[in-house]
Chain A
Amino acid sequence: MTTHEPAFDLSSESPGKIALRTLVRDRRSWIASSMLLVVVALTLSAPLYASLISKTDPFVSTINGTVVLDGVEVQVLQQSTEGLKLGVNPIGPTWKIGPYFLGADNQGRDVAARLLYGGTNTLLIGFSAAALTLIVATLVGVIAGYSGRIIDSVISRILDVIWAFPVYLLSISLSVVLLTSGFKWGPLSLEAGSLYLPIFIIGLVYVPYVARPIRGQVLALREREFVKAAIGGGAKNSTIIFREILPNVIPSVLVFIPLMVSLAMLTESALSFLSIGVQPPDASWGTIIKDGLGLLYTRPIVALTPGLFIVVTAVALNLLGDAVRDALDPKARLRGAF
């Protein structure tokens, strides 16, 4: 890739515009965004798919149901014909546009439709939890880094306490407790089994991972001469934070966005796999993998497709994260090369 400046463009550019131009020129950002766009478009089309193509309600079990395939009426759940002939074998993938494109799960529900609905939930939780993490972490990091002294010590110790627990251990224990009892604190009230609970839990456990680097950056920025110059000009604290510090912190927050969405999404899938994330009959990629676990030998497609979606989305997000980082800090790429 060439990095030559166009000779005719003499207009002045802000650091942000330069980064955006670098990002637009980066092939990785195009690949990643198109992958993400496809996944998002697919998941958003879930209601359409369910009503027009699969023609089944993906949230209702059809254990004794039948379906007409190629003019023949067949049972959705058939008696197993393999091995010891124990248990039931859901209908396999038809690979034809129509009902049971990817087959049925152990409750006779259309896997393809559930996959798309599940994707909506997984992505919604991923994006919302990441947004929550980044907003809280930026706020906390800037306050801690800028105020210093006691406030900084208190905030840092609280973050340390959260950080001391492994992410999954903490989110699992929080989920187990909160999913049964719900969460009530002041005006904030989340009922048990609500979709907001995983968002809240995942958003919270990642706060220290973002807040600490931001705090460090603010600590360094606070000593920079342009901040001292603002103090020398008589600026108030709020002016310094919003005009001098925050514009220099935002790039790091931007770099965190794709990476945090990917992390939050993976955590959600893990929690849902353990039955402590999204609650049935709602679906998420994690719950579908769990559903497919028992069918791994006969109908591996049930567990594999959501896994594939998770991998594709996570790879795309990480690719985008790398591209954003390189665009905002071109030196980082050079550093990585050596």
Chain B
Amino acid sequence: MSQEILRVNNVSRIYETSGGSFGRKNKVSALDGVSFNLVHGETLGIVGESGCGKSTLGRIISRLDTPTSGEIIYKGNDIAKKSLSAMRPLRKEIQFIFQDPYASLNPRRQIGAIIEEPMRIHGMGKDERRARAHELLEKVGLDKNSYEKYPHEFSGGQRQRVVIARALTLKPELIIADEPVSALDVSIQAQVLNLFKELQDEMKLTYIFVAHDLGVVRHISDRIAVMYLGKIVELGSVEEIYNNPQHPYTKALLSANPRIDQSAKSTRQILTGDIPSPLNRPSGCSFHTRCPIAVPECSTREPELRRIGAVDVACNLVV
């Protein structure tokens, strides 16, 4: 069970924008030296504000995007620089689920054809595809005659089930889900999340679950990585992160999570200011501009992710 499936090593992604004058390119560092590993069958939740690079990280691991530097070692092979055609056989094992089920299904194709597409690409026979599509529709809780319907005839939750069915067709091992429930109603979110869990138990799936909703992540994850401006600032088990957060950013995030318990309100910690632009990253610790406990040293010394107690934290002040 504790077999390593994925190791992400110091991955960075720099986007170049042509916004500068005289052809000078602005560089946006969306990911900056991210490292973590993933063992078979676990779920890693990735949380952070908008623009912190969590979606970029998901897309890079599934190689819908190419990292500027670093290694992505999947089952012992570095896939970071593989070409599109070299990636093709691996697509079977690594699947990506998009945030918006309204955009991720081709409106002009029947559900059956959509689900069968990956199987068709990987050369499965017609009857085999059809049987598998029906089996998967049932597995994700959709009616069998959905096979001949079109995406516009489904609700958001049903569409996300179709997306999940499509991701499962090739019996993948690693599924990267980019905010798979954030476009859905809260009542539907729970259903879809439970579906994710059931499928994980049944098919021994490994998940990377990107979300900004801390409740969602807590429900489904084994470990959590908190990201800020393209870096992981804290990484640890769900219990440690939620009960004993170390990094001031994690603390602020958790205190912002709405709770029914009224007494918790007093501990609400509000971060001032906006997330800095990745175009113009603050020196030293990138969080120091908003950090409630920052000291002058923070603006010069960049903290490394290091082991403190049971979690990995990137903060100069936590010991």
Chain A positions within 8 Å of B, measured between CB atoms, are 12-16, 224-226, 228-236, 239, 243-244, 247-248
- A232 touches which one: B91, B145, B153 (CB < 8 A)? B91
Asked if B96 is at the interface of the complex by the 8 Å CB criterion, the answer is: yes
A12 touches B148 (CB 8 A): yes
From the candidates A13, A15, A226, A233, name the one contacting B121 in the complex (CB within 8 A): A233
CA A244 – CA B118 in complex, angstroms? 13
Write the nearest CB–CB distance from B168 to chain A, whole angstroms: 12
Which of B98-106, B188-196, B206-214, B296-304 touches A? B98-106
Known contacts: A15-B108, A233-B91. The answer to whether A243 contacts B117 by CB under 8 A is yes
Min CB distance, A108 to chain B, in Å? 57
Who on chain B is nearest to A245 by CB?
B106
- Any A CB within 8 A of the CB of B75: no
| Residue picked from A12, A13, A233, most chain B C-beta under 10 Å | A233
Q: Is the CB of A225 within 8 A of B152?
A: no
* Smallest CB gap from A13: residue in B: B150
How would residues 155 to 169 of chain B score, 1 for a CB under 8 Å from any chain A CB and 0 otherwise?
000000001001000
A12 and B153 form a contact (CB under 8 A): yes
- Cβ–Cβ < 8 Å partners of B149 in chain A: 12
Q: Of B95, B108, B118, which one neighbours A16 at CB under 8 angstroms? A: B108
Q: In the assembled complex, how far is the CB of residue A13 from the closest CB belonging to chain B, in whole angstroms?
A: 7
CB distance from B55 to the nearest CB of A (A): 12
Q: Do A226 and B103 have beta carbons less than 8 Å apart?
A: yes
Complex partner residue of A229 from B88, B98, B170, CB under 8 angstroms: B98
**B197 contacts chain A at the CB level, 8 A cutoff:** no
Known: A233-B91, A234-B91, A235-B121; 17 extra A-B contacts, CB below 8 A, are A12-B145, A12-B150, A15-B108, A16-B108, A225-B98, A225-B99, A225-B104, A226-B106, A229-B96, A229-B104, A229-B163, A230-B117, A233-B117, A234-B92, A236-B121, A247-B108, A248-B107
Taking the closest CB of chain A, its distance from the CB of B143, in whole angstroms, is 11
B55-76 interface (Cβ within 8 A of A): 62, 64
Determine whether the beta carbon of B118 is less than 8 Å from that of A233: yes
CB neighbors of A among B94-127 (8 A): 95-96, 98-100, 103-110, 117-118, 121-122
Contacts of B196-246 to chain A: CB distance below 8 A = none
Cβ of B14 under 8 Å from chain A = no
Contact of A235 among B117, B145, B166 (CB under 8 A): B117
Residues 39-91 (chain B) with a chain A CB within 8 angstroms: 62, 64, 84, 87-89, 91
* Distance A154 CA – B64 CA, assembled complex (angstroms): 26
A14 touches B117 (CB 8 A): no
Q: For residue B109, which residues in chain A have a CB less than 8 angstroms away from its CB?
A: 243, 247
A14, A225, A229, A233: the one contacting B110 at CB < 8 Å is A14
**How distant is A220 from chain B, measured CB to nearest CB, in Å?**
11
Which 8 residue pairs spanning A and B have beta carbons closest together? A234-B91, A233-B118, A225-B104, A247-B108, A225-B103, A234-B88, A12-B149, A225-B98
Determine the chain A residues whose CB is within 8 A of the CB of B145 once the complex forms.
12
Contacts of A228 in B (CB 8 A): 64, 96, 98, 104
Q: Taking the nearest CB of chain B, how far is it from the CB of A106, in angstroms? A: 55
Note all chain A residues with C-beta closer than 8 A to B108: 14-16, 247-248
> Which residues of B sit under 8 angstroms from A224, Cβ to Cβ?
103
CB B277 to nearest CB in A, in angstroms, measures 23
B163: which A residues are within 8 A, CB to CB?
Answer: 229
Complex Cα gap A13–B105 (Å): 16
Cα–Cα, bound, A248→B149 (Å): 17
Q: Bound complex: CA of A50 vs CA of B87, how far in Å?
A: 68
Chain A residues within 8 Å of B148, by CB: 12
Chain A nearest CB from B112 CB (Å) reads 11
Residues of chain A with a CB closer than 8 A to B105's CB: 226
Contact A244 B153 (CB under 8 A): no
Contacts of A226 in B (CB 8 A): 103-106
- Please name all residues of chain A whose beta carbon is closer than 8 Å to the beta carbon of B152 when the two chains form the complex: 15
B89, B108, B109 pick with most chain A CB within 10 angstroms: B108
CA gap between A239 and B109 in the complex, in Å: 14
Instruction: List, in ascending order, chain B residues with CB within 8 A of A229's CB.
Output: 96, 98, 104, 163, 166
24 contacts between A and B (CB under 8 A): A12-B145, A12-B149, A14-B108, A14-B110, A15-B108, A225-B99, A225-B100, A225-B103, A226-B104, A228-B64, A229-B166, A230-B117, A231-B84, A232-B62, A232-B64, A233-B91, A233-B95, A234-B87, A243-B106, A243-B117, A244-B106, A247-B106, A248-B106, A248-B108
